[in-house]
Amino acid sequence: MRIVLLGAPGSGKGTQAAMLQEELGLPHISTGALLRAAVKKQTEVGLQAKEILDRGDFMPDEIMLHLIEERLAQPDVETSFMLDGYPRNLAQAKALDELLERLDKPLDEAIQIDVDPERILARILRRASEEHRSDDSEEVFRHRMEVYEEHTAPVAEYYAQQGLLTRILGHGSPADVQRLLLSVLELDVQAP
């Protein structure tokens, strides 16, 4: 099973991916986590990423594709994975399709988690106080939403045109949203 989770920043993609990883053992590829790890290790990409993340901008497509390709080469993602935070624009979606075709790992499903932006802002501000993330502020969130609407929202339509997209409402509890995800994936698994 190869899945892309889509949704605005703070919509719960990472939470849902972590829950699905725990429930199903599905490897979770989070570009945000990959980038934060690079920042923490102060790699060359990490130093570039910190400045870009702090502004709320997206990383250049070439860097992101390189990180994804490195991760997809690892043995734990041979047959299944969830992508969270990638692709973020149409160029990335097309590059991902080309990469997955070359690797013979086509996507099975793209799931869009829809959440009202004001609910997301409340989540972001709560996360900022709990996790002390420099990229979680109202100003950065508003900028990220503008960038999301312009660049990332069209990715959902791209997958819809391929017959891969399912939209779910992410306003419920994490367990409620997970039940919706599992039903989309047609899995008979009880969510916690």
From CA 29, how far away is CA 101, in angstroms rounded? 18
**Domain spanning 2-184: which superfamily?**
P-loop containing nucleotide triphosphate hydrolases (3.40.50.300)
Whether the pLDDT of residue 178 is over 90: the answer is yes
d(CA 55, CA 49): 10
Question: In this structure, are residues 152 and 6 in contact, taking their beta carbons and an 8 Å threshold?
Answer: yes
Q: How far apart are CA 100 and CA 52, in angstroms?
A: 27
What does the domain layout of the chain look like in residue ranges? Answer: 2-184
DSSP β-bridge partners for residue 114: 169
Quick check: pTM over 0.95? Answer: no
In the chain, alpha helices (H): 13-24, 31-41, 44-55, 61-72, 90-103, 117-131, 138-147, 153-161, 174-184
Tokens of 94: 């097309």
Report, as residue numbers or ranges, the catalytic residues: 13, 88, 127, 133, 144
Per residue in 66-116, pLDDT (tens digit) is 889 888 989 999 999 999 889 989 999 999 999 999 999 999 999 999 999
Q: Check residue 89 and give its pLDDT.
A: 92
